[in-house]
A and B are shown apart, each in its own frame.
Chain A
């Protein structure tokens, strides 16, 4: 089966068959959208919660808000129906710990919160998620059934 890689600050859409994967998600968030009726899958690897906070915001896939909009647009262009789309999210970990409060360290958590908020505003349901912690994750979204495999080093592998 074809496997398509989604890099950091990037997003891809495919129609079944095929797998979308993103390797080593850390504080970034992986947003997997799926239309099970039309078997169309989309995966975004967003780095920052909001394009509104940054002046250098041309790369839409870099941000949770504009990335999700663009991902849905692309899925609809492939033939997806927005009403069928459900979401699974993974990542948003805190790779390093410090005793003091450092906003940039909480970026993982902020990415996850921004994702939940954005999807809620769009009326897209999150059916499962594996977020937080202090470790990296590799994810694979199968366009046949919408299953999302989450692999880690030392924290097991699961399907969500």
Chain B
């Protein structure tokens, strides 16, 4: 299969995972907060490596990355990215107070959200493929966008020169949060997913 068709197919699959996963994640967050949360239709984006950090406002922009491992039937990782404004807005929603900087409690709250979001997408992938997938404990980093995004870029680098990700925007009151999610199965798992979805 050539790269363009593979890319097109992957976009469709990711869009479907994005729709179901984002819906699940928002429902979980809304239940947790007992608040109404609105969500835009998630976008699937493909970009070249060299542009990977410009999606978040520049290579040296401070961002939050939450990284989790995938185990059981597939191996790989999942990464949830927030720009700083979104991270602060999310914390305002979660903790119900004005958050100015990231302390230990806010980082652990963000890790938990990363966990909920990642699990929601993984469940969507699970129900589409029938694969059993477990998510590891999250690891969080706050650093330059390019440095954090080098991790998914390298994992995509093993199979392609482009990176694919799902972008979701949601709102609660005045707080808007933009999150990007990178799904990073290893090569064997990637092939397993494709073949279960009917692509050889």
The chain A residues found within 8 Å of chain B, CB to CB, are 7-10, 23-28, 47-48, 54, 56, 59, 62, 93, 95-100, 102, 104, 107, 134-138, 153
Contact = CB atoms under 8 A, between A and B. Distances in A.
B33 to A, nearest CB: 27
7 contacts: A8-B153, A26-B146, A26-B148, A47-B154, A62-B157, A98-B69, A153-B143
B62 A153 contact: yes
B44 interface: no
A138 B144 contact: yes
Given A24-B53, A95-B65, A56 B161 contact: yes
Overall SS of chain A's interface: loop
Nearest to A62: B157
Contact of A136 (B77, B137, B139, B143): B143
A56 B6 CA distance: 14
Nearest to A111: B154
Interface of B: 49-50, 52-53, 58-60, 62, 65, 67, 69, 77, 136-137, 139-141, 143-151, 153-155, 157-161, 186
B49 to A, nearest CB: 5
Given A47-B154, A104-B155, A135 B161 contact: no
B141 A134 contact: yes
Given A7-B50, A47-B49, A136-B144, A100 B69 contact: yes
Contacts of A102: 69
A94 to B, nearest CB: 9
Given A96-B151, A104-B77, A135 B60 contact: no
B147 A24 contact: yes
Contacts of B147: 24-27, 93, 95, 135-137
B69 A95 contact: no
A95 B161 contact: no
B187 to A, nearest CB: 10
A104 B156 CA distance: 11
A95 B158 CA distance: 18
Contacts of B77: 104
Contacts of A8: 49-50, 52-53, 146, 150, 153
A150 to B, nearest CB: 12
A47 B147 CA distance: 11
Most chain A beta carbons < 10 A, residue from B59, B140, B149, B155: B59
A47 B139 contact: no
Nearest to A55: B159
Nearest to B147: A136
Given A8-B50, A136-B144, A48 B157 contact: yes
